[in-house]
Amino acid sequence: MLLLTGATWAADMQTIKLAPNKKGFILFPTGERYVPWGHNYGSVDILERLAKDPARVARDFAEMKAAGTTVARVHPEMPKILTAPDKADQQAVDQLKQLLEIAENSGIYLKITGLACYKIENRLAWYDSMDEHDRWKTQAFFWETIARACAESPAVFAYDLINEPAAIGKQTDGWYTGRMGDVEFCQRLSLNSDDRTGHDVFREWTSRMVASIHKHDQTHLITMGMLPFPGAYKAAAEQLDFVSPHLYPKSGKVDDQITLLQKFDWGKPIVIGETFPLNCGPDDERDFLLKSREIAHGWIGHWPDQSPAELAELKKTGKSTIKDAIWLSWVDLFQEIGPQMIGEISKQE
């Protein structure tokens, strides 16, 4: 395998911009087509991994690159980044810069998801006790911190403002939702029972976060991770460079998911920010991905915690679990159809 130095990759990596026709992305300055095709990586512990085993992260990125990956969605945890409403942990910021260097070394672009407070045990009590005004101010400071650290890196594909937000909830609901075990993946932006609609909240909040990023970085693209409810997010999308719905097809209902995907077509590129054979087998996932090429311009699945080689060995020795088999089926599918997903759609298809 040919290994390139970080300096070589950094020199080769170009800035990603919207295509002039808004039908995808190009590399600047060459104008070559760029297709995001990759994985969510280290969704709940990326900075912890970097602190404990940076060699493992570098190895994982090399393996992802070998599998054909062009983008990795990462989730630097807010409780790691901030120590106070207006103070960042420099060590965590340095770890983020280390992640940028690893991405540059591998030639993989990053989609950086913000405000992650996924692990319930790691939540910041001072943050969760804030009212909406102060919470938004802290969220804006988080994004200023991230943008300042990442602005000069060629490895940034996009800033992903927040994962699957809800606009409004009740005080009794609390700030978080979307629980799976000991994590919650979603946040509410407001708990105020005033006259604002969900669209009003999304417009105001998105404008605030975009402006915070643009203080330090006016180059890289901005999006938001969206639940499969297009009506809820259209107002937020007005200020985003592209939209990023999360879609998991169900067995025997691929066409229903394609119809849902079409409802996110608001004249901007679409990158499916999460997909995976979670509710279906690999055949239905393959069908969904290939059919979605008529609408979407990028796709991001999930990378396993175990290496593909380890998963393949478990399968070979008959020791793999159902979970292991699902993960391996995704990696195999990703490699199998990667050339079709990244390539132009032929007229014969």
Structural domains in the chain plus CATH codes: 37-241 (3.20.20.80)
pLDDT class for 232, splitting at 50, 70, 90? very high
Over range 216-242, report the average pLDDT: 97
pLDDT class for 310, splitting at 50, 70, 90? very high
The amino acid occupying position 210 is V
For the ranges 5-9, 196-200, 321-325, 341-345, which has the lowest average pLDDT?
5-9
∠ CA(339), CA(107), CA(282), 5° rounding?
A: 35
Over range 65-80, report the average pLDDT: 97
Q: Write the CB contacts of 125 (distance below 8 Å, at least 6 apart in sequence).
A: none
Burial of 172 (0-12, 13-18, 19+ CB in 10 A): exposed
Type and span of the H or E element at 28: strand 25-28
Buried b (16+ CB within 10 A) or exposed e, 102-111: bbbbbbbbbb
Contact by Cβ (8 Å): 81, 128: no
Q: Write the CB contacts of 59 (distance below 8 Å, at least 6 apart in sequence).
A: 307
